[in-house]
Structure 1
Amino acid sequence: MKNKKRAVAGVLALGVGIGWLTLGGTHAVLEKTSSTEFCLSCHTMEAAYKEYQGSVHFSNTKGIRAECADCHIPTDTVDYLATKIRATKDIYHEFVTGKINTEEKYESHRAEMAETVWAQLRENDSATCRSCHDQDAMETYDQSADARKMHEYAVANNQTCIDCHKGVAHLLPEAKMDSSALQHLVETAQATPAGTEVVYPLQVTPMGEFGTINPATPLTVVAENGNQRTVRIDGYQMAGAEQVMYMGEGKRAVIAMVSEQGQQALTTGEYKEDPYGNKWRPVSLEANIEQPVLASTEPLWAYAEQLDNVYCSTCHAKIPGHHFTVNAWPSVAKSMGDRTAISAEDLEILTKYFQYNAKDVVGH
């Protein structure tokens, strides 16, 4: 009887030992391979680590550090195991293909790697972000007005953390716009048929000694002579800023900059004071232009959407034009544009795209 009890106890002890060795060992291996030290054992992670060291997740006033696993490995059991299995490809590329084993290769694949991680975070609703950050725990009154507004917008529109916080620990992929897109836009303008009654500049367009016209401004064609068009611009002028033509009364979307000669050629209406004490009057100007123009804004807005995808959506989720007013968009677009390599010309097109689709302009 005693021998039987000993045998049972031995089997149980053996089972516990095997269980400890297998389950415990597996757990130990998974934990070890989730450490930042293990990640750095691959030399291709050195660039990513240096970027991370310069981020607020590495060093901050709170003394709280998020390690690699905190951001890249979800704690949910299924997602945790799936992520660990997916990570085996990194070992394969490290030791077999050498896919990112040089700085040049790493940069060439940066966008691809970033998109992969962003897609995973969108799929799991930024689970690793939410393991530390909780919307309900945010003291929004301590945030800037813009941050508070964007967080409220994100909640209302079911956006997730990664939609806006893509560059929190690593450098963003370099934003590049294919030059062929602009060339296609120019070719479309060059094909605008004679006899088109209303045309739209695709870039800042000189009007002789009268000044310049901004992209997307609707121009009524008065006469044509070969490549030259005589056009009429209708807009508004504010007292004290007579060199500027605006989209509408109180709507500070600049449609043209007018020289002294241009101001003298204006046809003007009467000034009327707005609720803020500013005086506005309707004005129109006829001028000659020679640069190609578009028959509609559709191709220009298509180009602007590409600019939005490249220079804006690389950093955060798309912000629709109706999110801000026509007067708010220029400062918002400029502050964002200053953080990118977008050209001044493309930024002007993008700004006009937002302004013409602003919440106080759409349907006007």
Structure 2
Amino acid sequence: MGPNTNYKNFMGVSTFMKKLLQKLNKPSAKYSILALVLIGAVITVAGVVVMNKSLDYFSQTEFCVSCHTMQQNYEEYKQSIHYSNAKGIRAECVDCHQPKDFVGKIWRKMGAYKDVYHHFVTGKIDTPEKFEEHRLELAQKVWDRMADENYKTCTTCHSYEAMDHDKQSVQAMKEMIPAAKENMACIECHKGIAHELPNMAGGFRKTFETLTASATAPAGAKKLFSIEEKSLFATADANGKVEGQLLPASEVEVVGEEGDMLKVRVQGWIETNGKGRVMTEYMGKRVFKATVRGDVKATETVISEEVDPATNIAWKQVAVNAYITKDHLVESIDPIWDYASEMYASSCNSCHAAPAPGHFTANGWISSLKAMSAYYRLSKTEERTLLKYLQNHGSDTGGAGAH
């Protein structure tokens, strides 16, 4: 490339820049710059006004409930304290579901397309029956979104600083004072304040169905965990006499295989001076692992003996051999704990903020869970799995990080 070429390129760029400056200085032969600026300003202001008016219209409760899918939710809302109360203060739909700041408001409006899409296109929620079927899923999305927004739709109206606890009922004061100290979110205790709570069991029971479908002992596995109660046999015969029971979330060591049965070694602790039929996970803690009797009990071998310094009770660490079927077993405890954690959140967080598993000791969780049994509906197996999860993540069993 020669010097003439470089010069031509330079002159071409220079000419373009001159034309651009001329266009900017006098963009129109007909209108002055001031006139164009004023026109632009008018268009901008008109656009802002139209947008605000549009947002106001689309944020009215009447618009929100114009879709028949929302009629059931609207009737529930009309029965709530947010709709009618002694102070005459009403929280409209957008007060709870739409942030007040401009960015949050626009973001929420953009996200609402999913509701419209599932109503008019997929038909996922276009009838009351379908809506009820997906209520838990929809509610969870709202709760998650509120958490992501740091619950700012709640705190716009409610703040701990503005509360006068002396004017609250005794029960409300008892709950609100510690909640204020921990700066808890409103919906940790008030999820059902404006709408009916979904069937909270639906989620974790579906999780259990999925877990059960794949819970078959893989060939060659050396360590397995039960996802529910399993019968213990002294021989490789599933139709034989039951000589004990393995409880949910309990570990076994695989030592052999005979046909459709696994020969396993079950290890745990029993009280030295007791009948020795109840095996626990830990010495001195009522975290039950299995019950053994008869010919299974007869295979017992002692691994070690210790005295619990807290109670001065003598314990033996023992192991027994037994046979179990290959179903309802997984190689890792993690999916069982995930299922149990979901059950805990669904069953115990639906009415109030449930304490963290590490809040109580393993033995303390027995009475704590029993005290709440009137408020949840779990099967005996579900309750045993939940208790085992809480106990294994208790304050004296290492907490969540140890399991």
* Global fold match (TM > 0.5): yes
Q: Does residue 247 of structure 2 align to residue 214 of structure 1? A: yes
Corresponding residue number in structure 1 for 2:198: 172
Q: Does residue 363 of structure 2 align to residue 327 of structure 1? A: yes
* Aligned with residue 292 of structure 1, among 320, 323, 326: 326
Q: Does the CA contact (< 8 Å) of 2:365 and 2:391 recur in 1?
A: yes
Unaligned runs of 5+ residues in structure 1 are 1-19
Deviations 1:116-142 (A, max 9, x none): 433432232111111222244565995
Residue 104 to residue 27, structure 1, CA distance change in 2 (3 Å):
same
Corresponding residue number in structure 2 for 1:101: 126
- What is the CA distance between 1:272 and its match in structure 2? 5.1
Alpha-carbon distance between aligned partners in 1 of 2:90 and 2:306, rounded to the nearest angstrom: 60
Corresponding residue number in structure 2 for 1:345: 381
Deviations 1:129-184 (A, max 9, x none): 1122224456599569888777766x5xxx85556754443333642415232121
- What is the CA distance between 1:235 and its match in structure 2? 0.8
Q: Does residue 80 of structure 2 align to residue 47 of structure 1? A: no
- What is the CA distance between 1:271 and its match in structure 2? 9.0
Alpha-carbon distance between aligned partners in 2 of 1:347 and 1:33, rounded to the nearest angstrom: 46
SS at match of 2:206: coil
Residue 260 to residue 127, structure 1, CA distance change in 2 (3 Å):
same
Deviations 1:231-252 (A, max 9, x none): 3432133978965333223322
Q: Does the CA contact (< 8 Å) of 1:235 and 1:245 recur in 2?
A: yes
After superposition, residues 190-339 of structure 1 pair within 5 angstroms as 190-193=218-221, 196=222, 199-208=224-233, 209-219=242-252, 227-229=261-263, 231-237=265-271, 244-258=278-292, 275=310, 279=313, 281-282=315-316, 284=318, 286-292=320-326, 299-309=332-342, 312=345, 321-330=357-366
Alpha-carbon distance between aligned partners in 2 of 1:147 and 1:307, rounded to the nearest angstrom: 28
Alpha-carbon distance between aligned partners in 2 of 1:235 and 1:145, rounded to the nearest angstrom: 40
SS at match of 1:177: helix
* Aligned with residue 71 of structure 1, among 70, 74, 96: 96
Residue 130 to residue 249, structure 1, CA distance change in 2 (3 Å):
same
Percent identity, aligned pairs only, is 32
Corresponding residue number in structure 1 for 2:211: 181
Corresponding residue number in structure 1 for 2:27: none
Residue 49 to residue 257, structure 1, CA distance change in 2 (3 Å):
farther
Residue 279 to residue 117, structure 1, CA distance change in 2 (3 Å):
same
Unaligned runs of 5+ residues in structure 2 are 1-44, 234-241
Task: Look up the equivalent residue of 1:291 and give its one-letter code.
Answer: T
Q: Does the CA contact (< 8 Å) of 1:236 and 1:246 recur in 2?
A: yes
Alpha-carbon distance between aligned partners in 1 of 2:323 and 2:198, rounded to the nearest angstrom: 41
Alignment RMSD:
5.0
SS at match of 2:214: helix
Residue 248 to residue 68, structure 1, CA distance change in 2 (3 Å):
same
Task: Look up the equivalent residue of 1:248 and give its one-letter code.
Answer: Y
Q: Does the CA contact (< 8 Å) of 2:252 and 2:264 recur in 1?
A: no
Q: Does the CA contact (< 8 Å) of 1:237 and 1:246 recur in 2?
A: no
Alpha-carbon distance between aligned partners in 2 of 1:253 and 1:57, rounded to the nearest angstrom: 44
Q: Does the CA contact (< 8 Å) of 2:125 and 2:134 recur in 1?
A: yes
Residue 351 to residue 190, structure 1, CA distance change in 2 (3 Å):
farther
Q: Does the CA contact (< 8 Å) of 2:281 and 2:289 recur in 1?
A: yes
Alpha-carbon distance between aligned partners in 1 of 2:211 and 2:138, rounded to the nearest angstrom: 25
Q: Does the CA contact (< 8 Å) of 2:225 and 2:332 recur in 1?
A: no
Residue 92 to residue 160, structure 1, CA distance change in 2 (3 Å):
same
Q: Does residue 138 of structure 2 align to residue 113 of structure 1? A: yes
Residue 320 to residue 180, structure 1, CA distance change in 2 (3 Å):
same
Q: Does the CA contact (< 8 Å) of 1:222 and 1:232 recur in 2?
A: no
Corresponding residue number in structure 2 for 1:12: none
- What is the CA distance between 1:339 and its match in structure 2? 6.3
